[in-house]
Structure formats: C-alpha cells, structure tokens
Structure 1
Amino acid sequence: MYLLIKIISSAVIIGVVTELARRFPIYGGIVAALPLISILSIIWLTIQGESTQNVNKFTLGVLAGFPATAIMLFVIYTALKQSLHLVLAISLGIIAWGVFLIIQKFIMESFIS
C-alpha cells in the first residue's frame, strides 16, 4: 500500500512541477530545486519504521550529493546554452556528476585519515 501511495505522490509532484515549468520556467526551476523528494523520503522512512540513525545517514547522504548535483546542473545549463543536443548535455552533466562524486570521495577520505 505504501509503495502505491509513494508512486502516486511522486508522479503528482513531477506532473505539477513540469506543468509549472512549462508555463513559468524560472518558477518551475525554483520549485524543482525544493527538497521535496528528500523531505518525502524522510517522512516515508520514518512512517515505515526506520531508525533515527538510518534517517540521519540518509540526510547526510543527501547533503553529500548536493555539491555534485549542483555541478551536474551547471554543466547541463552551460551545454544547453552552447546549443548542444539535450541528450549530450544531460550525458555530460551525468559524467560531471560522477567525476565530482569520485573527487569528493577522495577529498573526504583524505580529511578522515
């Protein structure tokens, strides 16, 4: 039952955001940048009985992924501004995201050890 509710609520959010973005691109982008999925995930994890420790680890993971996501979006924005095809722009963004995560991991490991 929870799975069905999660799927429907996610679909509704995506539908609303894309409709908003179609009519008002900047506002759609701002709403898309809201941490809706993170907050919903935290709520669902809690409702499903996950421990506070696991929810905290999830939240830390979201924070750790944020810089790489910002880099990915910047690369996609720049590529599209240079008139690259959407698929290529997204591919470059995903590659930049992965490379940044790897670099970030090595930096974090060097601070920890």
Structure 2
Amino acid sequence: MKIIASALVIGLVTEIARRYPAYGGIIAALPLVSLLSIIWLHLQGENAVILSKFALGVLAGFPATAFLLGIVYISLQKSLNLFAAIGLGISGWLLFLFVQEIVIKNVKNIL
C-alpha cells in the first residue's frame, strides 16, 4: 500500500510538471515525501520522539537539498547534460552536508 500510494503521488507530480513545469516544481518542492514518511512511520506505531527526530533530520538536510537544486538549475541553464547536472548537484549536496557537519560540530564546541 505504501509503495502504491507513494508511486501515485510521484506520478501525479510528474504529470503536473510535464504540463505545467513551474507549478510542477512548486508542488515537487512541497514536503510530500517527508509528510508521507511521517504518516507511514506513525501508522507503523513509531512514537512522537522518533517522528520528531525524523523531522529534525529532514530540516538538517534541507539546506543541502536547496544547494543541490541550485547547482542543477545553474548547470541546466548553462546547457549542461541532465545527468552531468544531477551528478554535480549530488556532489555539491554531499560536500554541503560534509561542511555543514563540521560547522555544526565547531559551533557546538564553541558554545
């Protein structure tokens, strides 16, 4: 059931994006996967502590995801191949997460 519901959401967003790219992008930016995951975790009996830790993890990953999308956008604007743009975006995402982790550890040590 989870797979079917999730696939339907992805299919619907993709179809909207095909017809209306800007609106599809806005809808894709909605936290659909995060919310679906929270709902599935809840339905599987996870408690509020687990759900809140998951939500915090999503928040921690958000800046890196925005960075990834920025790289993909710029790469595509510069006529880079889609898969190269995605590869650069994922590389930037990993680098951003790495740097973010170092910054967070250093800030915690200072405080």
Asked if these proteins are the same fold (TM beyond 0.5), I'd say yes
Give 1:86's aligned residue. Answer: 82
Whether 1:60 aligns to 2:56 is yes
Please, which of 38, 41, 45 is the counterpart of residue 42 of structure 1? Answer: 38
Give me the whole-angstrom Cα distance separating, in 2, the residues matched to 1:15 and 1:86: 20
Give me the whole-angstrom Cα distance separating, in 1, the residues matched to 2:72 and 2:42: 34
Please, which of 67, 74, 78 is the counterpart of residue 70 of structure 2? Answer: 74
CA RMSD of aligned residues (A): 0.6
TM-superposed deviation, 1:19: 0.5
Tell me which amino acid in the other structure corresponds to 1:15. G
Deviations 1:59-112 (A, max 9, x none): 000000000000000000000000000110000000000000000000111111
Give 1:28's aligned residue. Answer: 24
Structure 2: gaps (5+ residues): none
Normalised to the residue count of structure 2, the TM-score between the two structures is: 0.96
What SS does the aligned partner of 1:49 have?
coil
Q: Percent identity over the alignment? A: 56
TM-superposed deviation, 1:52: 1.1
Please, which of 103, 108, 112 is the counterpart of residue 108 of structure 2? Answer: 112
Structure 1: gaps (5+ residues): none
Deviations 1:24-72 (A, max 9, x none): 0000000000011111111111111112111111000000000000000
Give 2:6's aligned residue. Answer: 10
Tell me which amino acid in the other structure corresponds to 2:16. L
